[in-house]
Amino acid sequence: MDRPAAAAAAAAAAAAAAAAAAAGSESGGGPGPVPAGGRRPPRGAGAPAAGSRQPSVETLDSPTGSHVEWCKQLIAATISSQISGSVTSENVSRDYKALRDGNKLAQMEEAPLFPGESIKATVKDVMYICPFVGAVTGTLTVTDFKMYFKSVERDPNFVLDVPLGVISRVEKIGAQSHGDNSCGIEIVCKDMRNLRLAYKQEEQSKLGIFENLNKHAFPLSNGQTLFAFNYKEKFPINGWKVYDPVSEYKRQGLPNESWKISKVNSSYELCDTYPAVIVVPTSVKDDDLSKVAAFRAKGRVPVLSWIHPESQATITRCSQPLVGPNDKRCKEDEKYLQTIMDANAQSHKLIIFDARQNSVADTNKAKGGGYESESAYPNAELVFLEIHNIHVMRESLRKLKEIVYPSIDEARWLSNVDGTHWLEYIRMLLAGAVRIADKIESGKTSVVVHCSDGWDRTAQLTSLAMLMLDSYYRTIKGFEALIEKEWISFGHRFALRVGHGNDNHADADRSPIFLQFIDCVWQMTRQFPSAFEFNELFLITILDHLYSCLFGTFLCNCEQQRLKEDVYTKTISLWSYVNSQLEEFSNPFFVNYENHVLYPVASLSHLELWVNYYVRWNPRMRPQMPIHQNLKELLAVKAELQKRVEEIRTEKAKAKERNGIKYGRRCGGTATLLHCWWEGRWHNHFRKLQHFLTKLNTLSEAFIQEK
């Protein structure tokens, strides 16, 4: 059942991408909000996703009275485009195909808008230079949320829908022999693709395509706000309530005699990049905690992330100690780590996992940073995980982008992937997290995890280890809570790492740290297909909205900043959209084995490039067979049969009571014969049903093998 699960998770992307290839067009949508509004939020990409709710013809006919619902459904109609790209896909949902065949969407002269979205510029006779099918001429619309290109030259119409938040930079390029179209623009995106547009010189001044794209793709650099603050969709669920720190710590059995839930940072004075609520040792006084903060980079003191329900071994996170070249010491910090070790009666040792390379840590020490020495921390063991820094990861992703878009060198594909070192870095992260999880689970030893500042590699390692150790985080809402807790509340610098609304594409602070984490999670879902409640579409949707700026979830750098910007009151959470249509993001083969620890194999032989994400815009890289919908239908049939089995069991019990007991009183031994007759009859029913259920399971697995 594990293999079917993996297939189901990868399905949506497969169907759309394969269809786009068959249709001969490049993927058109983008991670631009998967229409996050309503059934489908931001219209981020292009075509509808298989199995998602699509807009009805009636709704499209009356966009005014029920505009919100129309937008919601239109959003759903585009979800798969996030994966496949263009509305030319032949394998989109039946509802959307009916819509398209009815020519309702095609008849819309203007780009469809979400609540709060407005058009800034519309230009006709723009040429999209597709690297796969050549030049396509159509109308370009720029809104404050997306770039929408539509061509009626093809049947079905070609649509390219790209959220502006996904754009990294916009550059003018020279003419490329396209007739009168002598002015060009290259749009470099954060989601592994580049787009090229061309238009007539005489149109340039009055259209201002370049200026409009630059202005609205980078609103913060132009004195404007991100679109998330203007997005006005309504959802039945408030995603901001997914994570409550006190409730999460109580779920872990906290507070207890050794650990307390503290609000010492309620005003963010102890550490301005930490959340207001933290968990620290019970015996530690606030004054001592302040001294520890002064000895840790950015004031990021060791705080608890997770505690083992049985051994009480803990994962605590922090930043590097400010030892410096003179080996400075802090007795409060040394005592603090000893207290963390003492809180676990199962072990008399503390393992400190430093995510950095040893050589880099030495360099940091010369600059005032450093690491814990065994002389200052006698009961601690220091382990360097040798994971490279953000600059190396950024360069690795750049190399990966070069080999997947727009052309792929089939003859050198494997060596080219190897040359990026991307999978090697994924392996190192998984290997480090496995070591942490193993020390907690098997070694019953508490661990401290840090890198330099404690908001990049530290977040990757703690969240992955917690995902391996705690089955709750492998559910949809548990995974949402994990992201909210370990990444968002503990100050991963999303704004700087992603560059939301900022035109400085060469900023050295940008790095695919969160992308690597999600990639690691995807690798785990491949090795344990039944262990996760969510599917591949869920992970891709998260990454798409990491860039889209449709939701407030990934905005800003820390909790304090989000409160200052009123993110929680003026924007919508991504989880509002996700949790309003859980069926789209659920793994139909999920089995919730509580207290089951996962140890993924952190070996290159067990890792693979996530083609459905990194190569989804290239229609020539055909993905797996589109089996997602088939599996869902099989599961629906199976559920119906199981329901029927239960009904038969109930009927059997009632029949036995009526006919067995009733006649037994009158006939004595006759009851035994009657009972045997009934047992034989029901046995035949069950045997047939169970045989059919077995065939369904076999058929499901057969679909998986077609991958």
Q: How many helices (H) and strands (E) does the chain have?
A: 25, 14
Q: Identify whether the C-beta of residue 79 lies closer than 8 Å to the C-beta of residue 31.
A: no
Of 47, 109, 101, 98, whose CA–CA distance to 74 is shortest? Answer: 47
Alpha carbon distance 186, 204 (integer Å): 15
Q: Identify whether the C-beta of residue 490 lies closer than 8 Å to the C-beta of residue 275.
A: yes
Alpha carbon distance 696, 671 (integer Å): 37
**Is residue 451 annotated as a catalytic residue, yes or no?**
yes
**What is each CA distance from 648 to 80, 383, 532, 638, 653, in whole angstroms?**
40, 60, 32, 15, 9
Q: Identify whether the C-beta of residue 513 lies closer than 8 Å to the C-beta of residue 456.
A: yes
Instruction: Please provide the size of the chain in residues.
Output: 707
Say which of 183, 451, 556, 558 is annotated catalytic.
Answer: 451
Alpha carbon distance 301, 450 (integer Å): 10
Of 228, 172, 188, whose CA–CA distance to 506 is shortest? Answer: 188
Alpha carbon distance 147, 94 (integer Å): 26
CA torsion angle 501 504 505 507 (round to 10): -120
Give every CB contact of residue 561 below 8 A, 6+ residues apart in sequence. Answer: 495
Alpha carbon distance 118, 145 (integer Å): 8
In the structure encoding, which two tokens stand for residue 565, read together?
Answer: 């910007």
At 350, is the secondary structure helix, strand, or coil? strand
Q: Are strands 303-307 and 278-281 parallel, antiparallel or unpaired?
A: unpaired
Give burial (CB, 10 Å; 0-12/13-18/19+) of 323: buried
In the structure encoding, which two tokens stand for residue 373, read together?
Answer: 């020495």
In the structure encoding, which two tokens stand for residue 547, read together?
Answer: 């860039």
Q: Identify whether the C-beta of residue 537 lies closer than 8 Å to the C-beta of residue 34.
A: no
Of 194, 139, 172, 178, whose CA–CA distance to 27 is shortest? Answer: 194
Q: Identify whether the C-beta of residue 178 lies closer than 8 Å to the C-beta of residue 188.
A: no
Give every CB contact of residue 359 below 8 A, 6+ residues apart in sequence. Answer: none
Alpha carbon distance 407, 409 (integer Å): 7
Sequence letter at residue 514:
F
Question: What is the residue whose two structure tokens read 């049985």?
Answer: 310
CA torsion angle 178 182 188 191 (round to 10): -30
Tally of CB atoms within 10 A around 410: 10
Alpha carbon distance 484, 239 (integer Å): 11
Alpha carbon distance 591, 521 (integer Å): 17
Query: What is the set of active-site residues?
Result: 451
